[in-house]
Copies of this chain bind each other. A is one copy, B any other.
């Protein structure tokens, strides 16, 4: 009997923001896997660390993090093969995912390769969207407002057009795009309604008005929240 592939959302950073369901799966799965950069530690594993029992088989999914590029097919083919071996032997494999597995998560590449041939379950997690809004004390959207989620690497003109067209915006993956994003928000006259959040719910969380952010770079895990109609949530 085949094991089950689990995509486990472990939440945005605070280990306490894992769900009971993810915890239950994590405590039972004989094999856990998680993404990591080519060298260095896995954030997903660090988030889940307090909950990982000793003595589990661990698969470190190392993928090159080249700005503006995405991992090649063969990297995920290789790890899918390795995971398929465990599943064929009847062992469940829990893949740890920062935030939510299906919101920009690399788990989807494994899911696409394995879910048609193996039992697969996705356990949704707390995403950085809600976590950043909570940290900033700023609602994402209310009533019948539109929310647009934009990746920071988008070209400047596209960012500007999309931000202008949406009453509520979350720009993710800010990183080295901070300067560009700040310029766009400024040009649109929205700086006074924009918040910056870095490492939400983690050690080193920083929250401030975008206007007060210094420097021209930010961590990958940072976000800019923009609302056109400030204060509407209070009405």
- A17 is contacted by which of B7, B19, B143, B147 (Cβ under 8 Å)? B19
Q: List 5 A-B contacts (CB under 8 A).
A: A12-B124, A20-B20, A73-B235, A102-B139, A143-B151
Q: Given the complex, which residues of B lie within 8 Å of A23, measured CB to CB? A: 20
CB distance from A70 to the nearest CB of B (A): 6
Contact B109 A141 (CB under 8 A): no
Complex CA distance for A4 and B60, rounded to whole angstroms: 41
Complex CA distance for A175 and B150, rounded to whole angstroms: 27
CB distance from A224 to the nearest CB of B (A): 15
Contact A16 B20 (CB under 8 A): yes
Binary CB contact string for chain A from 204 to 235 against chain B (1 if under 8 A, 0 otherwise): 00000000000000000000000000000111
Task: Verify if A35 is at the interface (C-beta below 8 Å from B).
Answer: no
Interface centre among A19, A24, A102 (most CB of B within 10 A): A102
- A142 is contacted by which of B15, B108, B133, B233 (Cβ under 8 Å)? B108
Partner-B contacts on A (CB < 8 A): 7, 9, 11-12, 14-21, 23-24, 70, 73, 100-105, 108-109, 111-113, 115, 120, 122-127, 129-131, 133-134, 137-151, 153-154, 162, 166, 173, 201, 233-235
The residue on B at minimum CB distance from A9 is B130
Complex CA distance for A150 and B18, rounded to whole angstroms: 27
Contact B145 A146 (CB under 8 A): no
**With A102-B138, A126-B9, A126-B125 as given contacts, are A109 and B151 in contact (CB-CB < 8 Å)?**
no
The residue on B at minimum CB distance from A68 is B144
Complex CA distance for A7 and B129, rounded to whole angstroms: 16
Complex CA distance for A101 and B126, rounded to whole angstroms: 11
Complex CA distance for A148 and B141, rounded to whole angstroms: 12
Complex CA distance for A173 and B168, rounded to whole angstroms: 17
Q: List 7 tightest A-B contacts by C-beta distance, closest first.
A: A112-B234, A124-B130, A122-B134, A100-B130, A16-B21, A102-B133, A147-B149
